[in-house]
């Protein structure tokens, strides 16, 4: 019998009293044994509800040890775990529940009234779980035994389905297998020298690859402890740093810390490692960080579809403005976007990657998979880059029309589709512009219908019924017409130039 993720991440820790999820001071919290005991009880609930291997479980949950245990329970039962951003609206949730064919939705009790009718209409059961773990799911779990025999799974069986927004405005479910997740955790743990002595400060959300897989799977694999903060809060992170050895963050974490005078050399002198990813880390931030703390942030590059692809070295030079070299086992090439031919060193093209980390394709979208994964297994990332003289990858832009704000991806098309439907709006263009806190921020440029008067507050309120708050424009501009080229295509580059200083 085998279950790759269970065998590598959970089995070694069954019954262990070692600390897994620590409170802010680095002590107390949940031991490995307690965590796996909870996960086993949850696994019994899932099995008793009739969920079978391959069924999808949607979790829209505040970050908590119980929410993390639900991921572990899904692995144990072979159920495919599908975590979703707590910011998603009911309309967005409808899409994910429907597209994934979810059998079970687990959500906060405060959201159950809004989501239950949607789930019921789609044939999914609903159970509640609050930030403190309380709710219908825990009540059911309380009566179950603490051990669970994991369901047999092969390396290519799915462990998770993570939705990632798409150019067309329709999100795609990236199918991630046991082997995809485990191979990446093994490589990263070794490359970044994680051991059971590490205390990882975890302030990321757990509904994305970064917080759920990169951070959590490495900790589980190596027996490390995580200081498990509910979210990134500068005060809480500064209070927790003295007990930590390492931290993983998006660039906004680091710019916020650098803005705080309490974030000093002495505060982090004992730290072993800071990593950054999910969005570009400005070379300036990297240098400021070193000047303040003496540490060089280790920047790496990944994607939902591929897990992590490249990393700056633990021991060698960590070059600001680069994402390092391909990880062991990952093949990377820079290709001509038109022809797919591999380009010589130094030329700018699209990053393509192949390896055990690369996903199994998009859920129920074979045509999308075929567009983005070549027959020989290389995945076309849509990121534009070149390699430098040492083979380090320098990301210079994106071939895809994507905005990355505070580490969250927003496809302009999805926002434009919602804006275009609002009363009084003739058409819209959504762009990303530089933002001091989020790296990039969404700006919506709207053209009113003849005679209509558009008001920013009303636009945002109405769009907010459909779209998660992080996708909403941070600024709305009303113009008479959008700039177009001779083919009639909106010239977003001109708009980006015009509004580049919106948040300067
Ligand atoms: C929150 N808001 C955002 C936002 N986060 N707006 C744009 N972009 C974001 N990322 C909204 C809030 O709803 C609020 O709106 C307003 O902005 C101010 O919120 P805040 O209190 O300042 O935000 P905060 O809660 O502090 O969150 C900011 C953050 C968070 C950066 C800490 O977004 C975060 O943890 N990001 C990490 C994302 C992540 O893990 N990405 C990994 C993806 S995996 P209003 O209207 O209510 O005032 C991946 C692959 C890889 O990319 O390589 O890792
Ligand atoms: P997601 O779809 O949320 O997984 O986001 C993946 C995208 O984030 C990649 O395609 C890149 O565009 C971007 N990304 C991740 N890490 C980095 C990085 N270190 N530097 C620049 N962009 C990054």
C-alpha 109 to ligand 1 mean position (Å): 23
Domains defined along the chain, listed by start:
4-18+30-153 (3.40.50.980), 190-398 (3.40.50.12780), 402-498 (3.30.300.30)
Ligand 1 mutation pick, 302, 309, 408, max ligand atoms within 8 A of CB: 408
Cα-based distances in Å from 476 to 405, 408, 479, 481: 16, 20, 10, 14
349 lines ligand 2 (CB under 6 A): no
In sequence order, the 6+-apart residues with CB closer than 8 A to the CB of 389 are: 345, 346
Q: Which ligand is nearest to the CA of 250?
A: 1
Q: Whose CA is nearest to atom 28 of ligand 1?
A: 406
Query: Is any atom of ligand 2 closer than 6 Å to the C-beta of 379?
Result: no
Specify the residue for token string 């590059």: 301
Residue 167, pLDDT score: 75
Helices (H) and strands (E) in the chain, counts: 16, 24
CB 424 within 8 A of CB 450: no
Judged by DSSP in three states, 141 sits in: helix
Q: From the CA of 130, how far away is ligand 1's center (Å)? A: 21
Ligand 1 site residues (CB inside 6 A) read 204-205, 208-211, 231-232, 250, 252, 277-278, 302-304, 405-408, 438, 469-470
CA of 202 to the centre of ligand 1 (A): 15
Percent with pLDDT over 70 in the chain: 99
Closest ligand to C-alpha of residue 211 is 1
Contact 448, 478 (CB under 8 A): yes
- The confidence score (pLDDT) of residue 26 equals 65
Q: Each residue of 4-59: pLDDT tens digit? A: 999 999 999 999 999 999 987 766 699 999 999 999 999 999 999 999 999 999 99
Give the pair of three-digit tokens for residue 319: 């070059």
Give the integer Cα–Cα distance in Å for 363 and 61: 22
| Per-residue model confidence as pLDDT tens digits over 183-211 | 999 999 999 999 999 999 999 999 999 99
Helix (H) / strand (E) containing 486: none
Which residue blocks in 200-336 are alpha helix, DSSP H? Answer: 216-222, 234-240, 251-258, 265-268, 283-293
How many other CB atoms are there within 10 angstroms of residue 494's CB atom?
Answer: 14
Q: In the β-sheet with 80-83, what is the strand arrangement from edge to edge?
A: 125-128, 104-107, 56-60, 80-83, 158-164, 172-177
Q: Is the CB of 404 under 6 A from ligand 2?
A: yes
**How is residue 218 written in tokens?**
């490495």
State in Å: Cα 304 to ligand 2 middle. Answer: 8
Q: Running DSSP on this structure, what letter comes out for residue 12?
A: G
Q: Cα(452)–Cα(480) distance, rounded to whole angstroms?
A: 11
């Amino acid at each position: 019998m085998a279950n790759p993720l269970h065998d590598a991440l959970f089995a070694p820790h069954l019954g262990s009293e070692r600390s897994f999820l620590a409170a802010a001071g680095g002590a107390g919290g949940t031991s490995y044994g307690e965590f796996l005991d909870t996960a086993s009880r949850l696994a019994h609930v899932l099995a008793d509800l009739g969920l079978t291997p391959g069924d999808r479980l949607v979790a829209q949950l505040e970050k908590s040890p119980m929410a993390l245990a639900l991921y572990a329970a899904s692995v144990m039962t072979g159920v495919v775990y599908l975590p979703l951003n707590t910011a998603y609206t009911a309309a967005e949730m409808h899409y994910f529940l429907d597209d994934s064919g979810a059998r079970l939705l687990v959500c906060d009790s405060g959201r159950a009234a809004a989501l239950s009718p949607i789930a019921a209409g789609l044939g999914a059961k609903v159970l509640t779980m609050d930030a403190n773990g309380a709710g219908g799911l825990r009540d059911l779990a309380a009566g179950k035994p603490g051990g669970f025999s994991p369901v047999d799974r092969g390396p290519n069986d799915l462990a998770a389905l993570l939705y990632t927004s798409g150019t067309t405005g329709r999100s795609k479910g990236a199918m991630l297998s046991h082997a995809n997740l485990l191979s990446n955790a093994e490589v990263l743990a070794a490359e970044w020298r994680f051991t059971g002595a590490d205390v990882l400060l975890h302030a990321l959300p757990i509904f994305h690859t970064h917080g759920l897989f990169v951070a959590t799977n490495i900790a589980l694999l190596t027996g490390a402890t995580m200081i498990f903060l509910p979210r990134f809060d500068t005060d809480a992170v500064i209070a927790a740093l003295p007990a930590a050895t390492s931290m993983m963050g998006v660039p906004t974490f680091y710019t916020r810390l650098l803005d705080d005078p309490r974030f000093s050399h002495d505060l982090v002198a004992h730290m072993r490692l800071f990593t950054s990813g999910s969005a570009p880390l400005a070379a300036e931030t990297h240098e400021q960080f070193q000047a303040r703390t003496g540490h060089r942030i280790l920047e790496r590059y990944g994607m939902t579809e591929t897990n992590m692809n490249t990393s700056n070295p633990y021991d060698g030079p960590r070059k600001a403005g680069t994402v390092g070299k391909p990880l062991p086992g990952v093949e990377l090439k820079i290709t001509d976007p038109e022809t797919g031919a591999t380009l010589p060193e130094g030329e700018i093209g699209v990053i393509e990657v192949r390896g055990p980390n690369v996903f199994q394709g998009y859920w129920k979208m074979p045509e999308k998979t075929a567009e983005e994964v070549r027959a020989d297994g290389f995945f076309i990332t849509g990121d534009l880059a070149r390699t430098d003289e040492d083979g380090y990858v320098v990301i210079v832009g994106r071939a895809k029309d994507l905005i990355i704000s505070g580490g969250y991806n927003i496809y302009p098309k999805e926002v434009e589709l919602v804006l275009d439907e609002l009363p009084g709006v003739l058409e819209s263009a959504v762009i990303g512009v530089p933002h001091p806190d989020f790296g990039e921020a969404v700006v919506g440029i709207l053209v009113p219908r003849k005679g209509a008067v558009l008001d920013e507050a009303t636009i945002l309120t109405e769009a907010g019924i459909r779209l998660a708050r992080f996708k909403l424009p941070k600024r709305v501009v009303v113009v008479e017409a959008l700039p177009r080229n001779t083919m009639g295509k909106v010239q977003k580059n001109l708009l980006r130039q015009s509004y580049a200083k919106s948040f300067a």
